[in-house]
């Protein structure tokens, strides 16, 4: 469970909120408790700008996926557009 928590901290969307490598090593070695690191204000998950950005992203993704699912069957031109985007790596 410790490794999962450390991994989640390391994949934080904001680079400034990710632990340093020395903090990660200290956590894994058991020298620092996870609670100590999380109580550090610089690791706050309640960053209003990040929260607003995350909400904006998920709202856009939701509306885009809903428009795809309600737009009906794909036409030949839509298929070629998707194929072109896949070839250029836009849909990874």
Q: What is the pLDDT of residues 6-17, one digit of tens each?
A: 888 898 888 888
Q: Is the pLDDT of residue 62 over 80?
A: no
Residues 21 and 14: their CA atoms lie apart, in Å, by 15
In whole angstroms, what is the distance from residue 7 CA to residue 18 CA? 10
Range of the domain at 24: 2-43
| 67 and 84 share one domain | yes
Q: Provide the percentage of residues in the chain whose pLDDT is more than 70.
A: 41
Same domain, 62 and 75: yes
Residues 8 and 35 in one domain: yes
d(CA 21, CA 76): 50
Q: Do 39 and 52 belong to one domain?
A: no
Give yes or no for residue 29 having a pLDDT over 90: yes
**3-state secondary structure at position 19:** coil
Asked whether residue 38 falls in the same domain as residue 57, the answer is no
- CA angle, 41 then 48 then 7, to 5°: 60
Which residue in the block uniquely carries the two structure tokens 């309640």? 46
Q: In this predicted model, which residue has the larger pLDDT, 87 or 4? A: 4
**Do residue 58 and residue 36 come from a single domain?**
no
Query: Looking at the structure, do residues 7 and 32 belong to the same domain, yes or no?
Result: yes
Same domain, yes or no: 38 and 53: no
What is the number of domains present in the chain?
A: 2
Q: What percent of the chain has pLDDT over 90?
A: 13
Domain match, 11 and 28 both: yes
Q: Where are the beta strands (DSSP E) in 36-92?
A: none
């Amino acid at each position: 469970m410790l490794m999962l928590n450390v991994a989640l901290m390391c994949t934080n969307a904001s680079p400034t909120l990710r632990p340093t490598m020395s903090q990660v090593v200290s956590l894994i070695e058991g020298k620092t408790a996870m609670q100590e690191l999380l109580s550090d204000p610089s690791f706050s998950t309640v960053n209003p700008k990040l929260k607003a950005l995350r909400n904006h992203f998920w709202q856009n993704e939701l509306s885009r996926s809903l428009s795809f699912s309600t737009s009906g069957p794909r036409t030949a031109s839509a298929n070629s557009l998707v194929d072109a985007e896949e070839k250029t790596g836009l849909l990874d």
